[in-house]
Structure 1
Amino acid sequence: MEQRFIAQIIDWNQEGRGVARVDGKAVFIDDALPGEVVEWQPVRVKKSYTEGKISRVLISSNARLQPPCEYYERCGGCNSQHIEFTTQVALKQRAWLNQMRRLGKVQPDELMPPIYGLPWRYRERVRLSAVYEDGQLKLGFQTGQSHAIVDIDGCLVLPIVLSEALKPIKALLQSWPVGCVEGLMLHQGSEVIALTLQVYSGISQKMRKQVDCLLTQLQQQSGCLWQWWLQTDGTTVLQSASEDSILAYRLAEYELEIRYQPEDFTQVNQATNELMVRRAMQWLQPQAGERIVDWFCGLGNFSLPIARMQAEVVGVEGMAAMCQRAGSNAQHNGLAQFTHFQQADLFAMNGQRLRRIGYAHKWLLDPPRAGAQALILALNELEDRQLPRRIVYISCDPATLARDAGLLVKRGYLYRAGGIMNLFAQTAHVESIAVFDWR
């Protein structure tokens, strides 16, 4: 007879799992919610914790919903559709705070209200993988537990125009030679939608004409302007172009248009990105005459709003191509006089390199998942008078933010405020903002 395991869920973690304590040991159970009692089965047993899956929900949370997506049980794109939307955000905020306390031994003096964003149809940038089974093309996201591809014909988190384009795009690619296609990307900009086809080798002139015909069809059906790019061996080249066909997004509040290419990093959710930029500027409070460094500046998502307020901004980025595009965006928006962009290895910073960049009244940090540990440790090599008076930190990983927040507090900064921004609804992913003031 199979052993029955029953647990009461007491918390929810940053991976979207319910947390229970069984015989003093932490148990993380997929899809379980705080307040529930579940029957579960272990799938991985470690010395300090166990991972499990639900067999049956015995006492259900009021926040539990029937997921609306037909692919939800298999697809790895979302893992929170079974949770009522406002509860998703509340659980993320709680998990974020728990990580601040547990990993960084810190917490903000002020907890910012969450930025909720849209629950559906928000994801304006997506990458789908392709695989062939028995000659049939499957196009979609990976499953939650493996690298297998879940074949999809639409997606509830994509804007309708992108979701409805998947079927005709897949139908065209299915007619191409088996094994030709590696995947695709879709970007919905402010004026144009970009389709990027990732192929293992070049394509014929006939195939190119087929894509042109498909884009004409999509433009007629959607009323949107489309363009397409071809990516081979990591090189992405625009295949269709016109004077009014520029891939870009807007920050309307700051009268900015930021141009980009498909391989450039942009936020997947532009409506919530605008709210994030506004919140960052409210806390950074750029003033004319101030000098501000924007670390990991990318295309200028934060640098250009800072410059719009007539502060001098130094944008520092690890990739030379991104520095060049940030400079072009500054020029395009009439802000070249307030901006300077430079390349540097931001994971190999020290006090000497910081002093070379020069004093800044304030910093803005927007690092990748690895965080900004080297930059923050380099502050220990500066005298107090050389330190920025305020640091606004945008984070896509609560664990590395917690670590870096602990280092900043140890250096003498006050953890003034922090909170989450829900850029990825229906997932457990947490974007957040933290503000630090020199004592």
Structure 2
Amino acid sequence: MNAFEIIGGKPLKGEIVPQGAKNEALQILSAVLLTEEKITISNIPDIKDVNKLIELLGSLGVIVNRLNKDTYEFEAKEINIDYFASDDFKQKGGGLRGSIMIVGPLLARFGKAAIPKPGGDKIGRRRLDTHFLGFEKLGAKFVYDAENHFFNVDATALKGAFLLLDEASVTGTANIVMAAVLAEGTTTIYNAACEPYLQQLCKMLNRMGAKITGIGSNLLTIEGVKKLGGTAHRMLPDMIEIGSFIGLAAMTGSEITIKDVCYNELGMIPSVFARLGVKMELRGDDIFIPAQSSYEIDTFIDGSILTISDAPWPGFTPDLLSIVLVTAIQAKGNVLIHQKMFESRLFFVDKLIDMGAQIILCDPHRATVIGLNKQTQLRGISMSSPDIRAGVSLLIAALSAQGKSTIFNIDQIERGYQDIEERLKTLGADIKRVDVLPSGH
């Protein structure tokens, strides 16, 4: 079993380039199924979840050419629809939560799709209702095969409709948009997600010949077209990585420059870290974070304890709450972290408490962090990563801690972060991959 062994407590220094956005990749890659023409996509992160989806596209019959480390060319000329019935598909599709994203494009272009019940993070329930309710409104019929855990969807004639989404789901909105671009008539999606990644998808589809208006708002209007053509697309840098590196710099007292961040697409991420007291400077399109010996959490105007919570975009992304929580451990002051969207994403705090953090877990959604103000260092321990974001939060804690930490289950981290060990080493981190027996953690 692979694990990371980390000797912490050392300040880091240098430049780091964020990878392409994982959450954008899963949508953009699925969109190649909407046309038989070539699509070139660059800045693709080399991570497990994305590579699994590329492999799945290849198994479906998409011609995949890797032009260089982060650029691929896709040509979905002939798709093998019978592949859905295979055990191979059940295995590949079931092991990847993002596999749900191929349903919309396949329905749009071929009128049918199937998907095994997806896997993914253990961070609480993630309903797929938004996807399927949307497809149904457009005229699709689906049957859940409980025995084989398969969703079978039939949509021989999709027609535009008015949709009011039950939640502003990013993947749900993306999937419905991809189904609607080739549907007959006009589709209106209200309470649509409007994350930068979804805006990227809509802009790409428009370059392919789709007619989508309202991009960047929660009201999208899609006029169906007969067919789509090829295009080239470059993905945004991963905003979750950028936030993770801001937190890392603060926790370890390091001077770090995060390169090419597409600052205008980061929303309120920089301002939330600024409220924790983290200083940063925009230099061109790079974020420079100076080494800070201490940083102080802001309060509300009336002096009460600051609350940081997640919300649909342009609110603060839930994927960074665990990073904010870890960053607050060594701040001066207190903060309440309120994770509204997922009910078990804060369950990793017991490991941080074992390291010496002062955290009160109020309930599955809320934790109060009492900052140590760098008066006491965390201590290294052995621990296991429960999900992608918690895994990186524990990694940041370990890099700031005194002594040796071992993190097991690093597959979870590597599902979302490309070459993380090598990139941290270039900053001076003492981290190495070891093969260990997972006893005692």
TM-score using structure 2 length? 0.30
Query: If the length of structure 1 is used for normalisation, what is the TM-score?
Result: 0.30
The structure in which a higher percent of residues are helix is 2
Larger strand share, 1 or 2: 1
Identify the structure with bigger relative contact order (alpha carbons < 8 Å, sequence gap 6+): 2
